[in-house]
Structure 1
């Protein structure tokens, strides 16, 4: 077996392959590591056959969709997953054949309705059902402490105590544990009576994941996260430095259109001298009136540089091929001590 574990901010993902047949699966991939996954597979001469999410993640952004488009391979989840983009839905007890490896599905609801664990050889990929020193929480959408109790005590924990456990998350830098070690030392598993366990899970009072709404939205619907949209936009536009813009502004004959895409009150409080106001929310509706010549050179800026990057990408999509984003924003311009003009246009 070829095995590699990846960590990103507490998220754990796994490339597991058959050395003989040079094929592999990728389990619980996280979107910031897309290039690392493909590089690792290429390094080991592996062809990824399946992209697997053990459940609908609420605390990180899955990379399955992006990788599926890049690699033309199916996305795999448990049959009850709400995600419309899943290509292969598995049921309890079924297996994925990956060369000589066999990944057996154990349906383990509780953290989510669609949670599953994958058992292969001497190890189990437990998703968020069983963590190192903990368990998956049950207070997020489709969570159920009674179901988690059954999944743990009547299924997963009945495996051989020597079975290695590789979870989807660990925030303390640990790589894995075993069924036996968790039975002995995991504090949540010491509540072995159903009533005690369920009561404990219902009273944990945990903080909500930082990106809960956005993660669920993107992982369930196939939509894009804000970070993904910003990354794609920044890859599609050129940038101009603060210093270059200042030099351009000082030229006696300057045909550069400087476009401020903030709201009117921010513009009035202080803007780059000579800048025009066109709020991002009105861009598509006013662009033909305010920017009649698509061949002109346009420099777009906002307060921090993110909205202007999106706006520049939009302008380029609309045919303004000389639109450029400021590398930074009005905040950086002010901090650099460059001239600021206040008032209306």
Structure 2
């Protein structure tokens, strides 16, 4: 068996491959590591058979949907997953077969309603159900400490003690543990009575994950992250350097239109000379009257260069093919010491 661990911060993902057939399974992929997975598959002559998310992640962005579209492998989740892009849904005890590899799904709710673990030979991929020296939290949407107690003590911890534990997270650089080690040393597993375990989980008082809302939104729906939207917009939009725009304004370029997308207060606090004020929220509604010439050369700007990138991509979709975005935005213009005009 080919086996590789990938890390992004505290997030862990795993790729297992059959040496005979070169079929591979990717477990809990993280969006920022997409190119790393592709590189490993290519370097080792592997064909991706399945992409598995062990649960609906609330603390990072799954690469499942984007990799599925790019590589043609189905996203696999438990049948209770809310994700519409999960093409293959597993029940407790179902098995994935990839060449000589057989991965058995164990439904282990508690961290989330759709949590599952995968058992492959001598190892278990435990998602966020069982961590090294800890367990998944139960205070996020669909979490349930009673269900986690059952999943741990009535199912996962009954695996052979020598079973290797590979969790979806570890923040201390540890690669794996064993079921026996976790039973003996994991502080949360010392609470073997249901009431004590549930009370402990409810009293943890943990901070919310950094990307909670965005991660849940994208992982549950298959939607896009803000970073993805910006990257896609940047891929279809050229940019203009601060010095280039300053030179063109100094030359009184007749065919250049600068659009300032900020709100009125920001615009009136200082704007690039000659800029047309067109707030981003009004762009589509006012574009035909504000920009009557679709052949004009347009430069969009905002405070930091992100909204202007999105707006430039929108204008290109609307047929304005000579649109560019100001690199760095008005903030960079200001920091460079370039002149800003005030109303009147």
TM-score interval for Structure 1 and Structure 2 normalised by the shorter chain: over 0.9
Shift of 1:254: 4.1
The residue aligned with 1:314 is 314
The residue aligned with 1:151 is 151
Shift of 1:218: 1.1
Return the alpha-carbon distance in structure 1 between the equivalents of residues 248 and 180 of structure 2.
68
The residue aligned with 1:234 is 234
The residue aligned with 1:133 is 133
Shift of 1:108: 0.4
The residue aligned with 1:331 is 331
Map 1:208-287 onto structure 2 (within 5 A).
Answer: 208-287=208-287
TM-score, normalised relative to structure 1: 0.98
Return the alpha-carbon distance in structure 2 between the equivalents of residues 26 and 193 of structure 1.
35
CA offsets per residue over residues 271-312 of structure 1, 9 Å max, x none?
111111111100000001011111111111100111111001
Return the alpha-carbon distance in structure 1 between the equivalents of residues 200 and 252 of structure 2.
72
Q: Does the 8 Å contact 1:83/1:220 carry over to 2?
A: yes
Shift of 1:253: 3.6
Return the alpha-carbon distance in structure 1 between the equivalents of residues 217 and 236 of structure 2.
25
The residue aligned with 1:2 is 2
Shift of 1:9: 2.1
Return the alpha-carbon distance in structure 2 between the equivalents of residues 240 and 269 of structure 1.
23
Return the alpha-carbon distance in structure 2 between the equivalents of residues 309 and 253 of structure 1.
22
CA offsets per residue over residues 210-260 of structure 1, 9 Å max, x none?
111111111111111111111111111111111211111111444211110
Shift of 1:266: 0.5
CA offsets per residue over residues 75-96 of structure 1, 9 Å max, x none?
1001111111211111111100
Deviates more, 1:247-256 or 1:25-34: 247-256
Q: Does the 8 Å contact 1:17/1:46 carry over to 2?
A: yes
Return the alpha-carbon distance in structure 1 between the equivalents of residues 122 and 240 of structure 2.
54
Return the alpha-carbon distance in structure 2 between the equivalents of residues 289 and 254 of structure 1.
19
Q: Over aligned residue pairs, what C-alpha RMSD do you find?
A: 1.0
CA offsets per residue over residues 133-173 of structure 1, 9 Å max, x none?
11000001111101101111111111112111111111222
Q: CA 1:340/1:106 → structure 2, altered by over 3 Å: closer, same or farther?
A: same
Gaps of 5+ in 2: none
Return the alpha-carbon distance in structure 2 between the equivalents of residues 236 and 35 of structure 1.
20
The residue aligned with 1:104 is 104
Structure 2 residue matching 1:118: 3-state secondary structure: strand
Structure 2 residue matching 1:298: 3-state secondary structure: strand
Return the alpha-carbon distance in structure 2 between the equivalents of residues 292 and 35 of structure 1.
42
